[in-house]
Amino acid sequence: MATITLRVLDGADRGKVFEDIEVPVTIGREEGNTIQLNDERISRFHLKIQKDHDDLVLTDLESTNGSKVNNEDVQLRILRHGDLITVGRSTLIFGTRVEINERLERLSAANKVDAIEPGSKPSAEKLAVKNDWKDDPNYQLALLDLDPPKLPERLSPGQAAQLSEMIEFLHMHIRRVVADVEIDKQKKRVELTAEQWQKVLDVQARLAEYLRRISNP
């Protein structure tokens, strides 16, 4: 049976540690939840964490104020050690210190191919992981850069074809914008026309729609 550890970083229950809890786990403000938090902005039954094959999946249970992972609103999210879960005024970190450090060490080792040149400054992404990563608003992006999400497995041929078609559609739109941008080498800037910028916004809007439809099938 899979077990997880959640530690409360902020909120009325700050400092509490819920260690080696068997999944599925529910979090909410009422009795009957695996983890009951003292927070009036948390729904009676706010979210659920369950195992799906090799992944641990967080699902928001149609809560009033929603759930966030690494400062991003989510309905469904695969959890990884070090992820920050925000519900109401409470923030929890997923994983033990050992599990989180093991992940960061693995990411740092995998990232050594991008070693910093002597005298140069490390990128914001590297700093976000190595230093005050818990307080960095780009924490999620930094970890995704180093540990990008994997493609779903066990897809049927039809599902794989649909996913391929969706990614190809987005790729073509982004490729068109990239091909048309103007690069000012002297100012080290890339300039987009208003029309190109609208194309980028349209791609973002489509992605937002896809995310909502996937989360609420």
CA–CA distance, 87 with 198 (Å, rounded to integer): 33
CA–CA distance, 198 with 190 (Å, rounded to integer): 16
**How far is the CA of 63 from the CAs of 34, 115, 212, in angstroms?**
16, 43, 15
Contact 77, 85 (CB under 8 A): no
Is the pTM value of this prediction over 0.75? no
Q: Write the DSSP assignment of 26-74 as a string of letters.
A: EEESSBTBSEE---TTS-TT-EEEEEETTEEEEEE-S-SS-EEETTEEE
Question: What does the pLDDT profile of the chain (217 residues) look like in tens digits?
Answer: 789 999 998 899 999 999 999 999 999 999 999 999 999 999 999 999 999 988 999 999 999 999 999 888 999 999 999 889 999 999 999 998 888 888 877 777 766 545 444 444 444 344 334 444 455 555 666 666 666 777 888 888 888 888 888 888 888 888 888 888 887 777 778 888 888 888 888 888 888 888 878 877 5
- The first and second tokens of residue 83, run together, are 């992820």
Burial class (CB in 10 A: 0-12, 13-18, 19+), 117: exposed
Q: Write the DSSP assignment of 132-146 as a string of letters.
A: SGGG-TTHHHHHHHH
